[in-house]
Amino acid sequence: MAGSAQPKKYQNLRKAIVATTLCFAILPMLAVGIIIPIQFTELYHEKTVREVENVARGKGRTIDIFFEERTSQLRSLADMFSFEELTAPGKLASVLRAVKANSQSYVDLGVIDMEGVHVAYAGSYDVRDANYKNEPWFTEVKRKGVFVSDVFLGFRKFPHIIIAVMREEGDRSWILRATIDSQVFTSIVQSSRLSQEGDAFVVSRDGLLQTESHLAGHVMEKVDVSWPRQGGISEGFLHGKRMLLAKAPLDNAPWMLVVAEDPSEHLSLLSKAQTMAVVVILLGLAALSAGAWMVTRFMINRLIQADKEKASYDATLLQSSKMAALGKLAAGIAHEINNPLMLIREHAGWIRDLLEDEKPDKMQHHAEMRNAAMKVEQNVDRAKDITHRLLGFARRIDPSSESLPVNPIVDQAIAFLQNEANFRGISIERDFIETDLRVATDVGQLQQVILNILDNAIDAVGKGGRVLVSTRRNDADGTAQVILHDNGTGIPPERLEQIFDPFFTTKTVGEGTGLGLSICYSIMESLGGSIRARNHPEGGAEFTISLPVSGRQ
């Protein structure tokens, strides 16, 4: 059958099924899509924190080892050579060259007596006459025996770091002092960076930078970084950027290594993965929505079709039961009427026989009485024909299939509605094929289809209308066709696909149930034929009933 607009109950059912399906499918996906990225972000952030913290600790130990080695080298040099040997002309310079051959971190060497006087010097700076008696580092060396200084300007007038050790030689004490190349030290510190946007620097307890920093500032500038008791990691701002700050206090120098990393840079790959996951989830949601909609549409269409078939079967059963009851009623009425009709005919014949025995000239109204008796017999015959049709209708209640000519079946169906059509001033014209066109069918069911369509046509044309009933043979598919064409207003084009649906009707409330054409459709399918409707090019509606040709033609 043709499709129809879905009733509201089916639309609500489809919405409910789609919503339920999507809830059970989407909620877990959304939960996974939200919880897992959050967990991964936390884990990745924790991994980044641990990585930065480990780098800070490792590089802090590296810096400690760097100064430990340099201090040990100075101690070894001080122990290896005496004061007289190191202060001999050219000796300190040769020692410096030998040391630089193994390590490029030294800038110069100097031997200083306990009065702060530069006794010997090897290097590129003119500090031979410098006296360090009043320098803070000189006092620290005499007090501790070894000292690693903060970055300071000193007599060189540029930032530098010194390592100094004191040697006691008999009753004499003296100091071996070395200047450390700040570039080498800075390169060691900068190797702690994990990314291009990261930073690494060393800061003193006074908060002064001991190395260059592209985020915190230049050497000897003040930086606001708290000094923890032990190493740790925290978040802070450098140069207006939120950074992870891993802090590692050094053991061999009064400094702290700070490794700064931008967490967003480390999370960029994770962000890309999350973006990809979001895209995949959105595509999955779209696929789920489309799938749910298609599956639900298929289910609802099947449900609608099943409901239509059930309604059609129920209507057919109801109609069959009504027709069976009507047939029994018609048979009873026909038998009841036939008995008085036979009696009336017998008496009318007896009256006519009596009139034959009488002489017409001796009876004043002989001719009128004879004509009246003949009219009584004619009307009795007419009533008998009607009861015969009722009996024939009653006998066809039980379905059967036999090869029968089409034209008499159609003509008998028209006869049932002829009087009603005449009463309304509607002409029913016949255009039957002359040959004996036969079909294998059930007479009662086929007439029921013709009667239903013809009754609709009479309702459609109104007073003064015309209905043309034709029979044809279609050689293309080997079928016999009964065509009913009226000159009414026709069927609205948008309703053509719906007219065979159960309960669909164009009539006003109370004038039709919408089951007639649906039953006709089911009957024709059960008979092995078909029925179709269209708007005739010359106006009005046209219904074509087709059945396979059967028997001799």
Of 223, 251, 266, which residue constitutes the final position of a domain? 266
CATH number of the domain to which 445 belongs:
3.30.565.10
3-class secondary structure, 126: coil
Residue range 518-523: mean pLDDT, rounded:
79
Task: Please indicate, yes or no, whether residues 116 and 231 belong to a single structural domain of this protein.
Answer: yes
pLDDT, tens only, 17-26: 888 887 877 7
Write out the residue range of the structural domain in which residue 62 sits.
7-266
Tens of pLDDT, residue by residue over 93-103, are 999 999 888 87
Same domain, 198 and 125: yes
pLDDT digits (tens, 9 = 90+) for 291-302: 888 888 888 888
Inform me whether the pLDDT recorded for 212 exceeds 80.
yes
Given this model, what pLDDT does residue 447 score? Answer: 86
Q: How much is the pLDDT for 327?
A: 65
Per residue in 412-449, pLDDT (tens digit) is 889 888 888 888 899 999 999 878 889 988 887 888 88
467: pLDDT strictly greater than 90: yes
* Cβ–Cβ under 8 Å, residues 120 and 95: no
How many distinct structural domains can be found in the chain?
A: 2
pLDDT of residue 502: 62
SS3 annotation, 221-256: CECCCCCCCCCEEEEEEECCEEEEEEEEECCCCCEE
Domain-embedded: residue 298: no
Per residue in 277-326, pLDDT (tens digit) is 778 878 888 888 888 888 888 888 888 888 878 877 776 676 667 666 66
Q: Which two tokens stand for residue 459?
A: 């309702």
Is position 280 within any domain? no
Supply the pLDDT for residue 4.
43
Question: What percentage of the chain reaches a pLDDT higher than 70?
Answer: 87
The DSSP result for 71-120, as a single string, is HHHHHHHHHHS-HHHHHSTTHHHHHHHHHHHH-TTEEEEEEEETTSBEEE
108 and 224 share a domain? yes
Residue 286 counted as domain residue = no
In a domain, 448, yes or no: yes
Confidence label for 466 from pLDDT (cuts 50, 70 and 90): very high
Instruction: Give a yes or no: residue 126 inside a domain.
Output: yes
Q: Are residues 220 and 117 in the same domain?
A: yes
CA dihedral for 407, 412, 418, 420, sign (positive or negative): negative
Q: Tell me, what CATH number does 38's domain have?
A: 3.30.450.20
Report the pLDDT value the prediction gives residue 511, as an integer from 0 to 100: 46
Who wins on pLDDT, 417 or 362?
Answer: 417
Q: Which residues contact 400 (CB under 8 A, 6 or more apart)?
A: 442, 443
Residue 348 has pLDDT above 90, yes or no: no
Judge whether residue 506 has pLDDT over 60. Answer: no
The pLDDT assigned to 39 comes to 76
Q: What is the predicted pLDDT for the residue at 114? A: 92
Q: Is the pLDDT of residue 392 over 70?
A: no
Say if residue 241 is in the same domain as residue 338. no
Which among 266, 297, 331 is the end of a domain? 266
Q: Are residues 262 and 356 in the same domain?
A: no
Query: Which pLDDT belongs to residue 514?
Result: 43
Q: Are residues 186 and 42 in the same domain?
A: yes
Give 228-251 pLDDT, tens digit per residue.
Answer: 766 677 777 777 778 888 888 888
Which of 211-220, 333-342, 345-354, 499-508 has maximum average pLDDT? 211-220
Let me know: does 507 contact 459? Beta carbons within 8 Å: yes
- Residue 503 pLDDT greater than 60, yes or no: no
Residue 524, pLDDT score? 86
Domain for residue 1, yes or no? Answer: no
| Residue 318 in domain | no
Q: Helix and strand tally (H, E) in the chain?
A: 11, 16
DSSP 333-350: HHHHHHHHHHHHHHHHHH
Q: Using CA atoms, how far apart are residues 463 and 473, in angstroms rounded to an integer?
A: 31
Same domain, 193 and 332: no
pLDDT of 508 higher than 60: no
On whether both 246 and 384 belong to a single domain, the answer is no
- Least confident residue range of 62-71, 103-112, 495-504: 495-504
Any domain includes 292: no
Q: What is the pLDDT of residue 513?
A: 42
Q: Which of 219, 236, 266 is the last residue of a domain?
A: 266
Query: Across 496-539, where does the E strand assignment appear?
Result: 530-535
Tell me the pLDDT band of 268, cut-offs 50, 70 and 90: low
Given a contact cutoff of 8 angstroms between Cβ atoms, the answer to whether 209 and 221 are in contact is yes
pLDDT, residue 165, reads 94
- Is a pLDDT exceeding 80 seen at residue 452? yes
Query: Average of pLDDT values for 182-208?
Result: 83
Q: Does 203 lie in the same domain as 91? A: yes
Q: Which amino acid is it at 103? A: S
Question: 3: Cβ–Cβ under 8 A, 6 or more apart, which residues?
Answer: 497, 498
Q: Return mean pLDDT, the chain.
A: 81
Based on the fold, state whether residues 251 and 363 are members of the same structural domain.
Answer: no
pLDDT given at position 386: 65
Domain identity same for 245 and 347? no
